[in-house]
Copies of this chain bind each other. A is one copy, B any other.
Amino acid sequence: MSSSITPKSALVVSAHSADFVWRSGGAIALHAQQGYQVHIVCLSFGERGESAKLWRKGNMTEDKVKAHRQKEAQAAADILGATVEFFDIGDYPLRADKETLFRLADVYRRIQPHFVLTHSMHDPYNYDHPLASNLAQEARIIAQAEGYLPGEKVVEAPPVYCFEPHQPEQCSWKPDVLLDISGVWQQKYQAIQCMQGQEHLWEYYTRVALQRGVQAKRNVGITATRAITHAEGFQSIFPRVTENLA
């Protein structure tokens, strides 16, 4: 929306260490390819709630699980071309105090993102996800306030997109943006394969990408020449400001 010499940037706020891959790996890779500096915050490692396979191995501790999950997430971020940091605030339940809120606001100030990706506002299957979404949104508002750490450069009004939850209709999530990730699908699938503990989800999210691809194609026009094979869906929180409607 603005052109500047410093590279554009994006921020992804992920409740657990693998969410950003399934739900926005394509968006991350695509914008990295376009020159964006994409930064990911993993609030937790998903050590309790999303590491079933690791726990079933036996002889496991929470620290071992965390270390394993961190390695996977770092590898995935590397493949996607993004940086990642880990807040390690615990999961199941995720809880964020003021300190965490300010810590995330500080990331906003540092990154000055041109857009933000995070979780849906509702998810009856996963209470950590909406909490992460609310945290990401409130931190953005704090980071916009002149009175928070006065003198620092405040953030402008980056659009916020909610990425696709596991069972979209049950989460009242409705995509109003379909992002064409056909060109980076291979990269996303590679990142997906880093998640050794959740192999059962690989094909599920491959199918999600294919379905959203077909839908994107349909929303461009069946007879249109543009080829789209894979897509990701997003739901906007704010209206977009534009000068063209086509």
By a beta-carbon cutoff of 8 Å, the part of chain A in contact with chain B is 1-2, 8, 10, 27, 30-31, 34, 36, 47-49, 51-52, 55-56, 60, 62, 65, 92-93, 95, 98, 101, 114-115, 117, 124-127, 134, 137-138, 141-142, 144-148, 150, 154-159, 161, 166-170, 172-180, 203-204, 207-208, 210-211, 214-216, 218-226, 228, 231, 233-234, 236-246
Contact = CB atoms under 8 A, between A and B. Distances in A.
A146 B147 CA distance: 41
Number of copies of chain A assembled together: 6
Contacts of A36: 246
Contact of A241 (B65, B114, B168, B178): B178
Contacts of A52: 145-147, 222
B245 A27 contact: yes
Contacts of A93: 98, 101, 138, 142
Contact of A169 (B2, B137, B169, B245): B169
